[in-house]
Amino acid sequence: MRAVLCAVDVTFGARLDESAGGATSDPLLGEVAEALLRAADAEARRLDTALALLHALPVDAGVPMSPGAVEQALVARERLTRTIVDRLSDAAGRLIGRPAAELAVIVEDGPADEAIVRAAERLPAELVVLGSTGARGRWRPRFLGSVATAVVQRAPCSVLVVRRRG
């Protein structure tokens, strides 16, 4: 079954701290992410398709290659992935009234644009919903961010770009 894919950027109050055993604070959804969830849910209901939420995790190129360090990084990454899945599922239930059983939550490794296009191809997606700019682009609301531009150019389906208000 085809799906609406919503690319959500989850932010954290604290960074992943390997010295503290990979502990993180809870991920937060900002105003734009909440608007994305609502827009994606409305489109999925309108199209009578499934809803999938995606968060892209950048690959950490600075992990030492000793077996112990690699294992520690993998455990921390798995813990972070579980936290993201749980929080996105909770947010979907709270904001759009969808229980976790009614949506897929995907955490992909790699640059956001590549992760979004890969997930859209794999689902397959009927529609991709994403924000117009990421965290670094919030001060230039008149321009489409680099991730949104790349996804619009390379996605295998239509793309709905949600702008920031203001």
| Confidence (pLDDT) at 26 | 46
| Confidence (pLDDT) at 16 | 41
Cα dist from 157 to 94, 107, 131, 160, whole Å: 28, 20, 16, 10
Q: Which residue has the higher pLDDT, 8 or 65?
A: 8
Helix, strand, or coil (residue 47):
helix
7 and 112 Cβ atoms separated by less than 8 Å: yes
| Confidence (pLDDT) at 166 | 56
Number of folded domains that form the chain: 1
Domain range holding 62?
A: 3-162
| Confidence (pLDDT) at 24 | 43
Q: Which residue has the higher pLDDT, 133 or 156?
A: 156
CATH number, domain of 76, equals 3.40.50.620
Rounded (10°) CA dihedral 149, 54, 107, 17: 80
Q: Is 8 left (phi over 0), alpha (psi -120 to 50) or beta?
A: beta
Residue 151 has pLDDT above 70, yes or no: yes
> How far is the C-alpha of 97 from the C-alpha of 112, rounded, in Å?
26
Look up residue 36 and give its amino acid: L
21-71 pLDDT, tens digit each: 444 444 567 788 889 999 999 999 999 999 999 999 887 767 677 888 888
82-139 pLDDT, tens digit each: 999 998 999 899 999 999 889 999 999 999 999 999 999 999 999 999 998 765 545 5
pTM of the complete model: 0.83
| Confidence (pLDDT) at 14 | 42
Lookup result for tokens 């520690």: 72
90 and 83 Cβ atoms separated by less than 8 Å: no
